[in-house]
Amino acid sequence: MKFFIDTANLNEIAEAQALGVLDGVTTNPSLMAKEGITGAENILAHYKKICDIVEGDVSAEVIATDFEGMVREGEQLASLHPQIVVKVPLIANGIKACKYFSDKGIKTNVTLVFSPGQALLAAKAGATYVSPFLGRLDDISTDGLHLIAEIRQIYDNYGFETQILSASIRHTMHVIDCAKIGSDVMTGPLSSIMGLLKHPLTDIGLAKFLEDFKKGN
Ligand code: E4P
């Protein structure tokens, strides 16, 4: 299972990278705005900084919603750095753009996916990654994890190579549940990864080991 971090914060990306378990980064326009990164030039420069920190795929989202605009922006993003994955929304033009990019060998991440049918379309269009938003489904009293399981089943039925990138992860249990279902990738905040470290018996056990070591030395 690949671990992506869902942020545009360079410190958090560096911290996750330093832990040695980071496989990539996802961003979106809201995450860029949260870091105060505005204006096309600054945004492009920020993507490059992210690529300099991590070794894996970095999703960069198009803003255009028309096909030509998506292609123009996507090609510009892809030319920035070999690690860039062009992120397009699950709308008709996004599916067309996904097919266009996949035919050209440019990696894609189809985002804002909330149903199995949408995920099927993304796979048919040759998406590298599909991003079902499980936390946002949970937010409206709908079972986000069930969607991940449905997509897993559909992709396995036909051998689609599109990777399920479980997105909108909110906490550590989401990560574990996605791993049980067989999600290829998860993207979440740094806290969802760091939470995997925690167990009180680990802390108690380590304290005891250190205490016993001191007694003998
Ligand atoms: C995915 O690529 C999105 O950036 C993200 O996971 C959305 O998460 P949110 O629902 O917490 O905003």
pLDDT at 216 over 90: no
Closest atom of ligand 1 to 59 CA is 2
| pLDDT at site 129 | 98
> Does residue 187 line the site of ligand 1, with CB under 6 A?
yes
Q: Which residues contact 207 (CB under 8 A, 6 or more apart)?
A: none
CB–CB of 86/77 below 8 Å? yes
Active site residues per annotation: 87
Distance 206 CA to ligand 1 centre (A): 35
- pLDDT tens by residue, 193-207: 999 999 999 999 999
pTM of the full structure: 0.96
Give nearest CA residue, ligand 1 atom 11: 168
- pLDDT tens by residue, 12-71: 999 999 999 999 999 999 999 999 999 999 999 999 999 999 999 999 999 999 999 999
Give nearest CA residue, ligand 1 atom 12: 168
> Does residue 128 line the site of ligand 1, with CB under 6 A?
no
Give nearest CA residue, ligand 1 atom 5: 168
Helical ranges in the chain per DSSP H: 10-19, 29-34, 40-53, 67-80, 92-103, 116-124, 134-139, 144-158, 172-181, 190-194, 200-216
Give nearest CA residue, ligand 1 atom 8: 168
| pLDDT at site 100 | 98
Task: Please state the rounded mean pLDDT for residues 143-162.
Answer: 98
> Does residue 131 line the site of ligand 1, with CB under 6 A?
yes
Distance 124 CA to ligand 1 centre (A): 23
Distance 166 CA to ligand 1 centre (A): 9
CA distances for 13 relative to 5, 25, 210, angstroms: 7, 8, 31
Confidence of residue 217 (pLDDT cuts 50, 70, 90): confident
Q: Which residues contact 143 (CB under 8 A, 6 or more apart)?
A: 137
Distance 100 CA to ligand 1 centre (A): 24
**105 in the Ramachandran plot: left (φ > 0), alpha (ψ -120 to 50) or beta?**
left
> Does residue 114 line the site of ligand 1, with CB under 6 A?
no
> Does residue 135 line the site of ligand 1, with CB under 6 A?
yes
> Does residue 7 line the site of ligand 1, with CB under 6 A?
no
- pLDDT tens by residue, 86-133: 999 999 999 999 999 999 999 999 999 999 999 999 999 999 999 999
